Structure 1
Amino acid sequence: MGQAESHRRAGTAPQNSHGVRSRGGLALLPEELLVLILSWVPGRILATRGRLVCRHWRDLIDSPLPWKLQAERDPSKLEGLRSALEAARRCPRLEWARVGALQPFARNLIKNPRGEDQFLHWQVGHGDGWCLGDNTCWMLQLVDLVKEGLWEDLLDTCQPDIFISEWWGTHENCGCTYNLYITLLAGDKNSVIARFVTEADSAEEWDIPFQQASHVFREYGPGVRYLRFQHIGSRPGEQRTEAHLTNSTVLVKLSG
């Protein structure tokens, strides 16, 4: 009782068991105004801390209301919002706080897609049995679709479209051969559920413009949990592979 009285005299709200201040005077606000205020909180903080304040805040954050307001202020989030709304229509168990914080829709799930941080997030190697020529190099990234914000019911039942894209071109000093290997994997990371492989694209000319390799996975079946994105290049002879790769992309979308 003395502690509660000291909080009132100090003009501060008591803390809950998680050390988060309770909503205090915000309880007096109309719900529309409270939702507007919450929508200005960064998504991850809203989902991980805001939900702990009280049941009322949790219920609001678990609804689409604050996330719609955030997307309406940021045009880059509108396409993701449309996919999320369609997912909510098809899969009633959508967790808005999770989707709002992680934004799995219409966001590039490949990390370091342009190599601006050198090989960060990529596995790099040579040969490995996929050899296309005398001198082969490969780069690989494994995408955990559930960790990125999707969920099992959605992947198994709705099977959203998965868009794959990459741009490649030759180095100024030589040509090359380029292939893109994409596999959708089950939870064991080994069982292949669907795959896409480009035909070997060869460019003997020097310094040719970038060209695109792309594919869309649709109706790929249940069980997908991972996506393996791998590109392989080779340069016959003893010279090292010379290719420019950029803007590796994996996008997940749902349309009505």
Structure 2
Amino acid sequence: MSTDEWKKRVEAEWSLQGAPLPDSLDWKSIYEAKPLGRNLLKNPAPLGMSKDTPPPEPEYHDMPMRGPPRYQLDGDFTGWTTSVEILPYDTSGIPQGAVICELPRLSWFSMEQVVDLKAEGLWEELLDTFQPEIVIQDCYEESQVHQSIYQLHVKLLGADKSTVISEHSVNPTEDLSTYSHTWKEVSHVFCNYGPGVRYVHFVHRLKNSFMRELYPTKFTGSSVIVRPVTTSS
């Protein structure tokens, strides 16, 4: 199949009529990379869970687990950069003079990835002129560890990886008076973001609690998907 035939195949199958399709690009390689419509994040579910199945109920052991504190979930975090921030003890609700035997220790567990859009098969003219939608999705468990258990910050970056062209943050407050123990879905669509986008920086943080054993907040279904559509405004 010729380069022109590969280009026409890309245009037809991905509904890119009207989008810039330069003759200089390797359309066979772009077609095989399938950059549009697939999840560009690596290892989107490192805990091995699916949003189609309810999160498992927390395990409470008859005998407390012994050993040093654990502030990170067990999982395969290949593809992610992870870090832990241990938070100071919260004594705000304890009456003065009360005897404290033990307090839970809270920590943020952060995971981040940087998606190189050109390396994934997208091309500059498409990103700068057509500006397809960049869809962010994520799911976190209603763990009730704390009122604030989840944060998301996504930035669209320029070629220098430091220029922020657009960004979106999520920092919900949980209602601890109800408990449904379900996945909560977070989503955002970047559109009309302007020229120059080359990278997507995806960061989310989950809060864990440790008191003799780990009580984590789980997550799954993280995704960055470029859709072959635009949104006019």
Match of 2:99 in 1: none
Q: Which structure ranks higher in relative contact order (CA pairs < 8 Å, sequence separation ≥ 6)?
A: 2
For the 8 Å contact 2:145–2:207, the answer to whether it is kept is: no
Q: Give deviations 1:140-174, integer Å, cap 9, x for gaps.
A: 01100000000111111111100110111134x84
- Structure 2 residue 146 is the aligned partner of structure 1 residue 215: no
SS in structure 1 opposite 2:4? coil
From 188, 202, 207, the equivalent of 2:174 is: 202
Stretches of structure 1 that go unaligned for 5 or more consecutive residues are: 1-34, 36-59, 72-78
More strand by share: 2
Structure whose CA Rg is larger:
1
- Structure 2 residue 70 is the aligned partner of structure 1 residue 112: no
How do 1:5-84 and structure 2 match up within 5 A?
60=2, 62-64=3-5, 68=9, 81-83=13-15
More helix by share: 1
Match of 2:228 in 1: 254
| CA distance in structure 1 between the partners assigned to 2:29 and 2:173 by the alignment | 40
Cα RMSD of the aligned pairs, angstroms, is 3.2
Q: Which amino acid aligns with 1:82?
A: W
SS in structure 2 opposite 1:195? strand
Match of 1:90 in 2: 19
From 123, 127, 142, the equivalent of 2:81 is: 123
For the 8 Å contact 1:178–1:231, the answer to whether it is kept is: yes
Identity over aligned residues, as a percent?
Answer: 31
SS in structure 2 opposite 1:121? coil
* Number of residue pairs the alignment of both structures matches: 181
Tell me by how many angstroms 1:199 deviates: 2.8
Q: Give deviations 1:99-151, integer Å, cap 9, x for gaps.
A: 212110001101111114710100000239xxxx9521100011000000001
The TM-score normalised by the length of structure 1 is 0.61
Q: Which amino acid aligns with 2:155?
A: T
Change (3 A) 1:237 1:252: same
Stretches of structure 2 that go unaligned for 5 or more consecutive residues are: 49-74, 87-104
Q: Which amino acid aligns with 1:90?
A: A
| CA distance in structure 2 between the partners assigned to 1:80 and 1:120 by the alignment | 35
SS in structure 2 opposite 1:104? coil
For the 8 Å contact 1:170–1:242, the answer to whether it is kept is: no
